Chains A and B, each alone.
Chain A
Amino acid sequence: MLFFVANVNAAKSDFFGERDVVAAKEGGQLLLSPGAANLTQRGLEHIVARHWFTSGAKGAGKFLEGTTARGLKDMIGTATTKGAFRPNTFGRMGTIAEYNFGNVIGTTSKGLPASNLRVVIGTSGNVISAFPF
């Protein structure tokens, strides 16, 4: 296993700003350690389209009504600093971070109360998607 330090500070819109992150490269997957995810405008728009309480997307987890962009960023920050990490599946790039908040943050794909957050992080360290489950 090869460990290296990556500086993930390229995007001006990054919520987390400049920070060095420790990353591990394993089997072609970039496994980011806690603190590595950046929520860009594009990532935010993707999440809003599919997982916001206003979204009509079927079969997808939704955030609680009243969730703000700031609240979402905070939750992503928590999940990517305190959560459990695993590689993305079937050749999908990047890493998945999951965290249980211990309180309801939204609904699962079945519409049941959800307290877990899954964050999909690309190899660049940007958030691809995030949703409650």
Chain B
Amino acid sequence: MFEIKYRFSGSASSDITKSDETDLRYNLFLGSLILKTQNNSIIIDWDWIPLIDFAICLFTICNNLNTKMQGEEEFEFTESDSKIIFQKNGDRIKIVTSFSDEILEMSFEEFQEGVRTFYKSLLFEVVEKNQEIKDNASFVKYLKEAEKL
């Protein structure tokens, strides 16, 4: 089991239809996260994490690792030197960070499922709460990806 829980730290600004890619990935839909397996969790309760950016990065990391038997991908936060490192070894994956002693381990299949569920849930919730974002071209391309999953 791998689950990514998220919490928005505030509501979006009113100009989300005109927001560009940089706004989406740095300034909008900020919040906090918990990466969770059955036994451990990594809590990232910073309130400023751009959640759409996090979902896009994680989705990309998952796709990159899916093509390799072994490999490592490093996630950089937008506003911090902190890192999350994803280490794939065969059909297992390990998640370590520069800011927590907790280490998460799971099958790659569980990781993939958790990332896809998070990506879809987040984007669909953003749309549900902000219908006008359907007019934002930058967002729509990511929404289409989510609808394919």
Contacts and interface: CB of A to CB of B under 8 A. Distances in A.
Interface of A: 46, 50-51, 57-61, 89-94, 108-110, 116, 118, 120, 122, 128-129, 131, 133
* Most-contacted residue by chain B among A46, A92, A94 (CB, 10 A): A92
Closest 10 CB pairs of A and B: A133-B81, A59-B46, A90-B57, A109-B80, A58-B46, A109-B82, A60-B79, A90-B60, A60-B80, A50-B79
Contacts of A59: 44, 46, 48, 77, 80, 82, 99
A93 B79 contact: no
A59 B27 CA distance: 16
B72 to A, nearest CB: 14
A104 B81 CA distance: 16
Main secondary structure of the interface of B (DSSP, over half): mixed
Contacts of A128: 22, 26
Nearest to A122: B22
Contacts of B44: 59
B124 interface: no
Interface band, chain B: 20 to 34
A92 B23 CA distance: 11
Given A109-B81, A129-B78, 13 more contacts: A50-B48, A57-B47, A57-B48, A59-B99, A89-B75, A90-B56, A90-B57, A90-B75, A91-B57, A92-B26, A92-B53, A110-B99, A122-B22
A17 B79 CA distance: 26
A91 B99 contact: no
A130 to B, nearest CB: 10
Interface of B: 21-22, 25-27, 44-48, 53, 56-57, 60-61, 75-82, 99
Nearest to A47: B79
Contacts of A93: 21-22, 25
Contacts of A131: 79-81
Contact of B79 (A51, A90, A91, A122): A51
26 contacts: A46-B27, A50-B48, A57-B46, A57-B79, A58-B46, A59-B48, A59-B77, A59-B99, A60-B46, A60-B79, A61-B79, A61-B80, A90-B56, A91-B56, A91-B57, A91-B60, A109-B80, A109-B99, A116-B81, A118-B81, A120-B26, A128-B22, A129-B79, A131-B80, A131-B81, A133-B80
Contacts of B82: 59, 109
